[in-house]
Structure 1
């Protein structure tokens, strides 16, 4: 197995929305805001090369939306999914599996693209299986009012229509299950129903793709929960349980949305679990 961090672009969101009830005077210490109160975020994906499989975890926002849509999110930087793949010697047609942690547009938008004459949407990875789970799929295709703006039909419906949709089975009460993809999955429900976090054993270490359970290092303290979360009190419980284990077992946490930090570890302190160290991916894994 070989792992690669994959940058697909950067964007901005309102800092208050990203930190919920936490005052700006506190959250801006780790995530400074611009004059419009926006903070910088990444859309960092993970590429897993494992034998004859090339698995992409999340896809970023993609490029099919309108200029007006993208204008809300202040895209910046030169990263794209295609250029990042090319830099590693890959093409999107090489991808065999696309694993979607959840179906919010900044995680799955790149899964679907326009056809050449912009008359219909099609999978951006024509040779890949797309992986979700049935509970989350139902949640996303029948969205609640709170999340409706994040679950876009053009990102979701074409996956099912393509015949490339597959579900991770989750028929037990266990929060962690084995999958056929070569890694375990941790299910969490605070941010959205049945978000899936890949947990990989790699080079004698445990790497966890944090998605939106832990967007940035600034979200490590328990009350620092996004205003976007549908069940914030549950997020706090899930974070507390997970971070205690991560500290005790020295997990390496792969951060999808932190512009500055690819990996971090956490530690137990008198004030609870806190940031321990930050790393570039290449400093830990080769």
Structure 2
């Protein structure tokens, strides 16, 4: 197995929204805000090369939305999904599977693109199977008013209309070894219903793609929960249970949204679970 970090693009989000009820005087120490109160956010996806399969975990925002839409997110940097794939000798057509942790636009927008004459949409990975789960798909395609702006039908429905959509079969319990893909999946509900967190066995350790269970290293303290979470009081025990296990079993945490700390480990301290070590991609993936 080989792993590759795929930089799908950087953007900015309101720091207050990213940290909920936590005062700026605290979160600004780890995630400094600019003059507009915006903090740096990444969309770093993960490519898993496993035998004949090439599995892409999440796809970023994509590029099909309007200039007005992207204007809300202050795009920065030169990274995009295609250039990042090309860096490792791959193209979109090589991808066999696209695993979506959840269907918010910044995680699945790159899964769908304009068709050739821009009259409609089509999957951006023509040879891939797209993986979600049935409960989250139902949640996303019949969205509540709180999340409606994050579940954009043009990002979601073309995967089903093309016949490329597949569902991970839920086997009961929060964690399961996937029979469809060669990694474990933790189901969590605090951020959005049935978000899936991949656990990948790699070089004797477990690498966990954190998605929105832990957006950045600055979110390690338990009360540091995003304002975007639909059930913050459920995020707390989900996060606590996961972080305690991560410290105990020395997991590597792949931070999809942290623009500056890409992979970390954690440790138990008197103040709770805190940052242990920061890794560079080149130190881990070669």
Q: TM-score, normalised by structure 1?
A: 0.99
1:139-195 C-alpha deviation (Å, 9 max, x unpaired): 000101110000001001111101000000004134333332111111111000000
1:108-142 C-alpha deviation (Å, 9 max, x unpaired): 00000001210110000000000000000000001
5 Å-filtered alignment, 1:75-154, equals 75-154=75-154
| Most deviating of 177-186 and 104-113 | 177-186
Cross-structure match for 2:70 = 70
Cross-structure match for 1:243 = 243
The question of 1:186 aligning with 2:186 is answered yes
- State the secondary structure of the residue aligned to 1:10: strand
Q: CA deviation at 1:261?
A: 1.2
1:19, 1:226 within 8 Å by CA — same for their partners in 2? Answer: yes
- State the secondary structure of the residue aligned to 1:236: helix
5 Å-filtered alignment, 1:252-263, equals 252-263=252-263
1:175, 1:188 within 8 Å by CA — same for their partners in 2? Answer: no
Q: TM-score, normalised by structure 2?
A: 0.99
2:2, 2:285 within 8 Å by CA — same for their partners in 1? Answer: no
Cross-structure match for 1:26 = 26
1:143, 1:151 within 8 Å by CA — same for their partners in 2? Answer: yes
- State the secondary structure of the residue aligned to 1:113: strand
Residues in 2 aligned to 1:173 and 1:274: alpha-carbon distance in whole angstroms: 27
| Structure 1, unaligned runs of 5 or more | none
Q: CA deviation at 1:275?
A: 0.7
5 Å-filtered alignment, 1:151-170, equals 151-170=151-170
**Please, what is the CA RMSD of the aligned residues?**
0.8
1:72-122 C-alpha deviation (Å, 9 max, x unpaired): 000111001000001110000000000000000000000000012101100
5 Å-filtered alignment, 1:45-56, equals 45-56=45-56
Residues in 2 aligned to 1:265 and 1:212: alpha-carbon distance in whole angstroms: 17
Cross-structure match for 2:218 = 218
Cross-structure match for 2:274 = 274
Runs of 4+ in 1 over 3 A off after TM superposition: none
- State the secondary structure of the residue aligned to 2:198: strand
2:136, 2:193 within 8 Å by CA — same for their partners in 1? Answer: yes
2:168, 2:178 within 8 Å by CA — same for their partners in 1? Answer: no
Cross-structure match for 2:233 = 233
2:4, 2:285 within 8 Å by CA — same for their partners in 1? Answer: no
Residues in 2 aligned to 1:208 and 1:273: alpha-carbon distance in whole angstroms: 16
- State the secondary structure of the residue aligned to 1:89: coil
Residues in 2 aligned to 1:174 and 1:234: alpha-carbon distance in whole angstroms: 13
Cross-structure match for 2:39 = 39
- State the secondary structure of the residue aligned to 1:43: strand
2:256, 2:262 within 8 Å by CA — same for their partners in 1? Answer: yes
